[in-house]
Amino acid sequence: MFFKNLARFPDIGSNSYLLDFGETRVVLDAGTHPKHTGRNTLPRFEEIEPDSVDAIFVSHPHLDHIGGLPVLMQQQISAAVAMTAPTRESGAALLHNSVNIMKSQKEELNEPAYPLYSHRRVNEYERLWFTRETGEAFSIGSADRVECQFFPAGHVQGAVGIRMEGAGHTVFYTGDVHFEDQTLTRAAEFPTEGIDTLIVETTRGGYERDPGYTREKEKERLGKAIRETIERGGAVLVPVFAFGKTQELLFMLQELREAGLIPHVPVHIGGLSTRMSQIADRFSDSNERLHTGTRLLDDFDDLHILPRGHLEPEFQPGRIYALSSGMMSEHTVSNRFARHILRSEHHSLIFVGYADSETPAGKILEVGQGGRVQLDKKRDHESEIKCEVHRFDFSGHAPRHQIADYAVACRPKNVILVHGDPAARAWFQEELTRRLPEARIILPEPGEEITLS
């Protein structure tokens, strides 16, 4: 059998991988790349023969894993498409939002290939997706059947790792994984026995977490920053991703309120965050999440939702604004609203997730309070950052030592390192070569095909 890396670039984005079990072929994920535009944002789908794939598995609904799915489905018209029920609902909403973004970028970026698909196509294809529960065994293929099973990945609600057994070979794909409980999402529960090939994410390979870190300590530190801002008459802006981070943050704020670590003040959300929270609430009784039975939009006291069509909430001191996007990308609510926050030392800008160095969020984190940033390259001059700037580690990705420990526990013949920049994958290569001397540690180049034994 063989593995092929369909990612177009050697970093995080356009995640997609082809597995050939002989008579049965599977594509794992079908993402788009956030740093590129047009057809360059897609994986190398053109390198797969049309209508030759038996199944497409989606590990979770972040766009770097699902954003190219409608394009792939158009080329692979007979492929069965499988995911969990939360991923199906969240993924459809995120794809529809992606259509809207591509339509606006068509003129803004003069990108003739946009949109890559339409709202109608997303609706048509969503009806073809089938769902499976974690722990539920199922099979794909006709000639050589491949036995499959989803396992909770702990990354976001509905995220899974995928076990596949066929042609005498067992493959486990982690997708994006977290091995600790978060605020909403329970820790991953992955198998370790009988795995021949492990395909594993390496996102945090270049980052060493403080050995004394605990999530509780980090939450207390967050509470202190919020409390001190409110007490001095300021407002707090937390740029968040609409799916995953918004819901995690709201439950965290609720816990901090209940513990008396932050004052009971209004919290504002809006735009896509509202839609994604509605979907999360539909799965409030899932065994794979914490705060079981609690529905954010019904049970979170003093939650203010930005009405549809409004560009941003009205600014008032003494409040918390959890607004997307998490990277404060141009033309998003958090980017526009930041103008209120940057101008005074009484306010705080708080980051709780990943921010690429080339985005406004990344640039603010780089220069900090007292530095200067250009929020919109076309409209703005540089603005001084007068507010406090805080960063907290609530990543949805496992720290590198935990992923390495998991790989060692599996004792696979092959470890394929994906979903990381070159430095991150290089750390894993060195670490796992040392700890798994009999295993084959593979760093697949974009487009590279690798025979597995």
Other Cβ atoms less than 10 A from the Cβ of 379: the count is: 9
Stretch 325-333: mean pLDDT, rounded?
A: 90
The structure tokens listed for 321 are: 């604004």
Handedness of CA 194, 197, 200, 205 (dihedral sign): positive
Q: What is the pLDDT of residue 402?
A: 98
For 28-44, write each residue's pLDDT tens digit: 999 999 989 999 999 99
Beta pairing partners, 68: none
The yes-or-no verdict on residue 269 having pLDDT over 90 is: yes
User: 108 pLDDT band (50/70/90 cuts)?
Assistant: confident
The dihedral built from the CA positions of residue 201, 187, 281 and 163, taken in this order, carries a sign that is positive
Average pLDDT, the chain: 96
For the chain, helix (H) and strand (E) counts, in that order, are 12, 22
CA distance 340 to 342: 6
Percentage of the chain beyond pLDDT 90 is 92
Residue 271 has pLDDT above 90, yes or no: no
- Residue 292 confidence class, pLDDT cut points 50, 70, 90: very high
**The pairing of beta strand 414-418 with beta strand 197-201:** parallel
Go through the domains of the chain in sequence order and give each one's CATH number: 2-207+396-451 (3.60.15.10), 215-391 (3.40.50.10890)
Neighbours of 309 (CB within 10 A): 6
Q: Is 90 exceeded by the pLDDT of residue 314?
A: yes
User: What is the spatial distance between Cα 79 and Cα 65, in angstroms, rounded to a whole number?
Assistant: 17
Q: Judging by DSSP bridges, how do beta strands 146-152 and 160-166 pair with one another?
A: antiparallel
User: For residue 115, is the peptide bond before it cis, meaning its omega torsion is within 30 degrees of 0?
Assistant: yes
- DSSP-derived secondary structure letter, 289: B
- Predicted pLDDT of residue 46: 97
Name the percent of the chain lying above pLDDT 70: 100
Q: Each residue of 427-441: pLDDT tens digit? A: 999 999 999 999 999
Residue 211 scores a pLDDT above 90: yes
Q: Is the pLDDT of residue 361 over 90?
A: yes
Q: Token pair for residue 157?
A: 């609600």
Residue 143 has pLDDT above 80, yes or no: no
At residue 308, does pLDDT exceed 80?
A: no
Mapped onto helix, strand or coil, the DSSP state of residue 103 is helix
Is the overall model pTM greater than 0.75, yes or no? yes
Model confidence at 378: pLDDT above 80: no
Distance CA 13, CA 356 (A): 12
